[in-house]
Amino acid sequence: MEKQGHIDLYYGDESGFCLTPVTAYAWQYKGEQIQILPQKSKRLNVFAMMRSGKELVTFTRQGTLDSTFIVSGIEQWRQTLEKMTVLVLDNAPVHQAALRDKLAEWQESNLFIFFLPKYSPHLNNIEHLWRKIKYEWLKPDSYTCLDNLKNDLQHIFSHFGDQYQINFKQ
């Protein structure tokens, strides 16, 4: 239905970022040493909704994300919707808790929430976003201090769709 232009389809989820980097592997020249020291830091949590790998809406918070924060983000985003929209979410307890009370109201304004089956993160396309950010787009300098991490994340979020893209097979 999205490909035919009948609906807008978004994938939503949250992820956390801190000064302990995610590094699967790295290349270095012989004799050169790459070092990133993990540091204790506050956690930056992001709730995001992504459409087609090229459009992104984010809500960031330092500290724990709860259902009230997620509902508030969806409410703000809902005000910008122009046509029938489906938001795909996983079955995390934080999604289930307060969202159930809003489903009927949101459906009246053409926002429909689709909950994925349990244990199926592979069906939520936004998981590709988190993987790209953590394994490719954030650089070692991003982890030197919390301000760098915040700034680099904001840069990625604000340039998503042009400088940073995810191309899904059509």
The pLDDT, as a whole number, for residue 3 is 86
Neighbours of 58 (CB within 10 A): 19
The pLDDT, as a whole number, for residue 35 is 67
The pLDDT, as a whole number, for residue 110 is 96
Asked whether the beta carbons of 127 and 22 are under 8 A apart, the reply is: no
Res. 140 pLDDT band, cuts 50 70 90: confident
Q: How far apart are the C-alpha atoms of 163 and 157, rounded to whole Å?
A: 10
CA distances from 14 to 118, 144, 147, 149 (A): 16, 23, 20, 17
Residue-wise pLDDT for 72-123, tens only, equals 999 999 999 999 999 999 988 777 767 888 999 999 999 999 999 988 888 9
Answer whether residue 28 shows pLDDT above 80: no
pTM across the whole model: 0.87
Q: How far apart are the C-alpha atoms of 8 and 58, rounded to whole Å?
A: 17
Which CATH number applies to 8-22+39-158: 3.40.50.720, 3.30.420.10, 1.10.10.410, 3.40.50.300?
3.30.420.10
Q: How far apart are the C-alpha atoms of 7 and 4, rounded to whole Å?
A: 8
The pLDDT, as a whole number, for residue 96 is 75
Residue-wise pLDDT for 31-76, tens only, equals 887 666 666 778 899 999 999 888 999 999 998 888 889 999 999 9
Domain ranges of the chain: 8-22+39-158
